[in-house]
């Protein structure tokens, strides 16, 4: 074999090895979840923002594809922020934002679904998912007040505000999914849960006798 042919063979083998390595690191995270309304007792005045925390194993291309409008009900015009998570996320750590994206490969039918395709270094990242349009500060807080001046402590969750699917592809692995701050459910729900618990306890006692 001539030297030039040997070089070509070596280059081809190296390219195949790199491709195989890249494909072996490829993974897909799919999160099906929803955000919720925040109610002040008389009306819905805000909504929660979800947090999706994931790792990137090596410097690589990562796509983040949201699906909601026209597919799920209730749908929402999604907006996403992406931040590097060093354990103490500050506004300066929020590096990427997207409101209306491309029609990705997840079945989006409207460009209202958010989309990011970027190269990320190895590390931990936090993805914020909510309805457009909220600020960086609201993303970090995990909720947005749409009207009024109510404090978070005076609000309760009141039904689903938007259903979505987030698909994250690349050399990635999921850490956790969280819904903003801890917000109580309405008192009526607690009363129902307490009554149900008491009923189950009573039945168990009767069975014991």
φ, ψ dihedrals at 54, nearest 5° = -145, 160
41-72 pLDDT per residue, tens: 999 999 999 999 999 999 999 999 999 998 99
pTM score of the predicted model: 0.77
Q: What is the pLDDT of residue 24?
A: 56
**In the chain, what are the domains?**
27-199 (2.60.120.380)
pLDDT tens sequence across 190-199: 444 444 444 3
Q: What is the mean pLDDT of residues 168-177?
A: 97
Neighbours of 101 (CB within 10 A): 20
The highest-confidence range among 127-136, 188-197, 199-208, by mean pLDDT, is: 127-136
Which ranges constitute the DSSP H helices of 105-171?
Answer: 136-141
Q: What is the pLDDT of residue 4?
A: 54
Q: Which stretch of 58-72, 110-124, 166-180, 185-199 has the lowest confidence by average pLDDT? A: 185-199
Integer Rg of the chain from CA = 23
For residue 149, the SS3 value is coil
């Amino acid at each position: 074999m001539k030297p030039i042919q040997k070089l070509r063979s070596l280059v081809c083998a190296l390219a195949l090895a790199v491709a195989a390595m890249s494909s072996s690191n490829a993974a897909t995270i799919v999160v099906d979840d929803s955000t919720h309304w925040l109610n002040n007792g008389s009306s819905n005045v805000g909504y929660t923002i979800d947090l999706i925390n994931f790792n990137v194993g090596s410097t690589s291309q990562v796509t983040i594809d949201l699906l909601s409008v026209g597919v799920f009900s209730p749908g929402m015009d999604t907006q996403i922020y992406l931040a590097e998570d060093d354990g103490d996320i500050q506004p300066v750590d929020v590096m990427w934002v997207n409101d209306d994206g491309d029609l990705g490969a997840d079945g989006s039918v409207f460009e209202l679904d958010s989309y990011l395709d970027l190269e990320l270094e190895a590390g931990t990242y936090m993805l914020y998912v909510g309805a457009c349009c909220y600020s960086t500060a609201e993303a970090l807080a995990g909720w947005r007040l749409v009207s009024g001046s109510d404090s978070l402590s005076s609000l309760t969750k009141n039904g689903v505000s938007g259903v979505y699917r987030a698909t994250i592809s690349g050399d990635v692995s999921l850490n956790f999914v969280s819904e903003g701050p801890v917000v109580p459910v309405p008192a009526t729900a607690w009363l129902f849960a307490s009554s149900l618990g008491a009923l189950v306890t009573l039945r168990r006692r009767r069975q014991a006798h």
